Structure 1
Amino acid sequence: MSTDDKPATPPRTPDEVRLSAVQEELSVGVTTTETGAVRVRKVVHEEMHPVSMRLRSQEVDVRRVAVNRPVEERAEPRREGDTLVIPVYEYVPVVRMQLTLKEEVYVTTREQQQDVVHHVLLNSEELVVERRDGTSGEWKPDADAG
């Protein structure tokens, strides 16, 4: 054999110790574990509340009063207390033309007030925050959320 044909490793002797080089690798990961939970619920409370209010109404009474009296000139509408008097004129042929008050229309306004109570539905909302320990624990009110 020539020097070029020598094996790459020397022959083993009985006192020879063989060592292996080992490299350890560390792998880091994250695992999500549920340790508890929080839930938020909205509760709507509906209550009927009485609402007091005053209703006002007006009633108008119209009454015609025949007058048939000659007058010299027209008069404007006038008030007599809570009544509006509106004169109505017409020309009536006579031997001479004469202005005659034919009638007056009396318009009376009366006002009434009435106290009534209506029931109105009002809504109010409340948030309920609950917390549980672990994945199957009991839901309990969260004291920190209040």
Structure 2
Amino acid sequence: MSDEPERRIPLVEERARIEKRVVERNRVTIRTAMTESQQVLSETLRREQVDIRRVPVNQEVDAIPSVREEGGVVIIPIVEERAVLVKHLVLVEELHVQRKVLQEPVQIPVSLRATEVFVEPQNSPNGEDT
């Protein structure tokens, strides 16, 4: 070992550092506008109409007839008991119910609104167009 004291030589040390700053590059203007357009909506409406006719029958029957349908007509029997020396069922009348489907086109004007968006570039603050 040597008698000389140990010598140290300081070295230069580099360190890296990152700095950030805000730089305004571009500007835009955003505006909206409401538009309105007129349209006509078309649709066919459906409704049913019922016609009822009273049809006299006046016929004796042994049992109450059931409701039946003939040719698109619903027939509902109406009976009553009549006192005679003997009781008989008499078919007094029938109600004939017929359905009719009616259709009529309709047109309804409506207003529809929509929002449009416009984005417009502006000059940058340092005078350059981007």
Could you tell me whether the CA contact under 8 Å between 1:92 and 1:98 is conserved in 2? yes
- Where does residue 60 of structure 2 map in the other structure? 70
| Distance in structure 2 (CA, Å) of the matches to 1:122 and 1:96 | 75
Q: Percent identity?
A: 32
- Which amino acid is the alignment partner of residue 114 of structure 2? S
Q: C-alpha offsets along residues 2-34 of structure 1, whole Å, 9 cap, x if unaligned? A: xxxxxxxxxxxxxxxxxxxxxxxxxxxx9x9x9
Q: Which stretch shifts more, 90-99 or 114-123? A: 114-123
- Which amino acid is the alignment partner of residue 56 of structure 2? A
- Where does residue 109 of structure 1 map in the other structure? 99
1:40 to 25, 30, 39: 30
Could you tell me whether the CA contact under 8 Å between 1:35 and 1:133 is conserved in 2? no
* Residue 97, structure 1, aligned to residue 87, structure 2: yes
Taking only aligned residues, the RMSD between alpha carbons, in angstroms, comes to: 2.6
Higher share of residues assigned helix: 1
| Distance in structure 1 (CA, Å) of the matches to 2:85 and 2:38 | 76
Q: Which has the higher contact order (CA 8 A, sep 6+)?
A: 2
Q: Can you give the 5+ residue segments of structure 1 that lack an aligned partner in the other structure?
A: 1-29, 136-143
Q: C-alpha offsets along residues 50-96 of structure 1, whole Å, 9 cap, x if unaligned? A: 22211111111112222221111221111122211100111110110
**Distance apart, 1:35 and its partner CA:** 8.7
Residue aligned with 1:95, SS? coil
Q: Kindly tell me the number of residue pairs found equivalent between the two proteins.
A: 107
**Which ranges of 4 or more aligned residues in structure 1 deviate by more than 6 Å?**
none
Q: Can you give the 5+ residue segments of structure 2 that lack an aligned partner in the other structure?
A: 1-20
**Distance apart, 1:108 and its partner CA:** 1.2
- Where does residue 132 of structure 1 map in the other structure? 122
Could you tell me whether the CA contact under 8 Å between 1:85 and 1:106 is conserved in 2? yes
| Distance in structure 2 (CA, Å) of the matches to 1:39 and 1:116 | 45
Residue aligned with 2:85, SS? coil
- Where does residue 70 of structure 2 map in the other structure? 80
- Which amino acid is the alignment partner of residue 52 of structure 1? S
- Which amino acid is the alignment partner of residue 82 of structure 2? V
Higher share of residues assigned strand: 2
Give the TM-score normalised by structure 2: 0.69
Residue aligned with 1:117, SS? strand
